[in-house]
Amino acid sequence: MTVPFVDLAALVRPSRAEYLAAFERVLDTGGFVGGPAVAEFEAAFAAYCGAPHAIAVRTGTDALVLALRALGIGAGDQVITAANSFFATAEAISHAGATPVLADVDDATLLLDPADVARRVTPRTRGVIAVHLFGQIADMAALGAVAEAHRLHVVEDSAQAHGATRRGTDGADRRAGAIAQVAAFSFYPTKNLGALGEGGAVTTRDGAVAERVRQLRDHGQAGRHDHVDVGYNARLDALQCACLSVSLGRLDAGNAARRRLAAHYRARLAALPGVRLIAAPAGSAPVYHLMVIRVDAARRDAIRDRLAAEGIATAIHYPRPIHLQRAYAHLGQGPGSCPVAERAAAEMISLPMFPDLTIAQVDRVIDALGDALAAALG
């Protein structure tokens, strides 16, 4: 039995008729950019997140850039974010004209460490991007306290956390996208909520920020041919929005399936010596965008090779922390500046995780992993 890392064809197959009907509706209206399909998806996604505003944009990277620019962050500013995110999180800071500062993560959760963020604040720091990595929400209460003390904006990078919740200090559970002032989502097809192509969105509770994002995604126009800013063509087309409305309808079922699979993985993995799990923070309901484990760094590649030989696909998210990427050598944050992220990068393995994975496939992964660990240790 082979086990793929994800199976996107299986994911969309049950909704085929709904996607085709959505497609036909857009064809019939002739509104391919903007129009009701975009407005309907934005309203549905805002309601899902519990945020007053959602603005659909071309990609998750654009969502981050527009969120930062809408907050007035730009040249001369610094924005702190996690060293162990996808490169786009830092890239967006650079595209907004600011400088990324990479901070370390908590060793148990691999989420941004608020104490390390506080240590890296300078007079130029204007914002923090909290990354909800692997489907778990960052410690927004502690990050909010750091931000308040230094008057910083907080942006949620929610690209991996559609539908994840975390309990606030007031006891209320909030979804990704409705915790900080502004949040950015990706709808890349492998995400928990995926388009049939590229897509992204900004959510916010701030009407002025929503208005700025709407202008920036449409060449900085406040009205037709009234350009108040140098913006972008970052609009998400109607076909993608129509398809996203279909995908949104099965997001909760997909997340529930991921949680069931993760519970099975975690129960069985706990019995395997040499495997470390990522801790779920108290009060947090993760959506397991990825199923990541940690093993001895010296044996990680041999374990992955053995799994591959057994037909089990794995990945690494992410093999090199952002501050050690060549593109950011000029930042001067060399090896040792984020030791937890650096160690984790050498130890992590992402195991197969997608809603249509079966319990039998999970058992196959764990049996093969047990053999690979025994061989590596022996």
Ligand X SMILES: Cc1ncc(COP(=O)(O)O)c(C=O)c1O
85 lines the binding site for ligand X (CB under 6 A):
yes
CB-based contact 202:66 (threshold 8 Å): yes
Handedness of CA 351, 1, 266, 11 (dihedral sign): positive
Q: Smaller CB distance to ligand X: residue 84 or 361?
A: 84
Q: Which of 307, 273, 317, 312 is nearest to 136 (CA)?
A: 317
Tell the smallest beta-carbon distance from residue 198 to ligand X (Å). 6
CB-based contact 351:368 (threshold 8 Å): no
| 177-196 positions binding ligand X, by CB under 6 A | 186, 188
240 lines the binding site for ligand X (CB under 6 A):
no
Tell the smallest beta-carbon distance from residue 181 to ligand X (Å). 18
81 lines the binding site for ligand X (CB under 6 A):
no
Tell the smallest beta-carbon distance from residue 367 to ligand X (Å). 30
Among 26, 159, 210, 244, interactor with ligand X by CB under 6 A: 159
Tell the smallest beta-carbon distance from residue 243 to ligand X (Å). 15
C-beta nearest to ligand X: residue = 60
Site string for ligand X, 311-350 (x = CB under 6 A): ----------------------------------------
Part in contact with ligand X (CB under 6 A); list of ranges 154-162, 171-179, 318-326, 351-359: 154-162
Q: Which of 224, 234, 166 is nearest to 202 (CA)?
A: 234
Written as six digits, the tokens of 175 are 């979804």
Residue 300 carries which side chain, given as an amino acid letter? R
Part in contact with ligand X (CB under 6 A); list of ranges 45-53, 152-160, 257-265, 367-375: 152-160
Distances (CA, A) of 146 to 34, 117, 154, 365: 39, 8, 10, 41
Instruction: Please list, residue by residue across 106-131, b when 16 or more beta carbons sit within 10 angstroms of its beta carbon and e when fewer do.
Output: beebbbbbbebbbebbeeebbbbbbb
**Angle of CA points 133, 139, 144, to nearest 5°:** 125
Q: Which of 199, 115, 206 is nearest to 153 (CA)?
A: 206
Distances (CA, A) of 186 to 15, 27, 220, 323, 346: 20, 25, 22, 22, 26
Give the orientation angle of helix 36-49 with respect to helix 238-249, to 10 degrees: 40
What residues does 82 pair with on adjacent strands?
103
Part in contact with ligand X (CB under 6 A); list of ranges 73-81, 114-122, 157-165, 344-352: 157-165
160 lines the binding site for ligand X (CB under 6 A):
yes
Among 131, 140, 234, 362, interactor with ligand X by CB under 6 A: 131
Tell the smallest beta-carbon distance from residue 137 to ligand X (Å). 13
| N- to C-terminal Cα separation, the chain | 25
109 lines the binding site for ligand X (CB under 6 A):
no
136 lines the binding site for ligand X (CB under 6 A):
no
Q: Site for ligand X (CB under 6 A): how many residues?
A: 14
Among 41, 86, 318, 354, interactor with ligand X by CB under 6 A: 86
Site string for ligand X, 23-62 (x = CB under 6 A): ------------------------------------xxx-
Among 104, 106, 116, 157, interactor with ligand X by CB under 6 A: 157
CB-based contact 150:125 (threshold 8 Å): yes
203 lines the binding site for ligand X (CB under 6 A):
no
Binding site for ligand X (CB under 6 A): 59-61, 85-86, 88-89, 131, 157, 159-160, 186, 188, 200
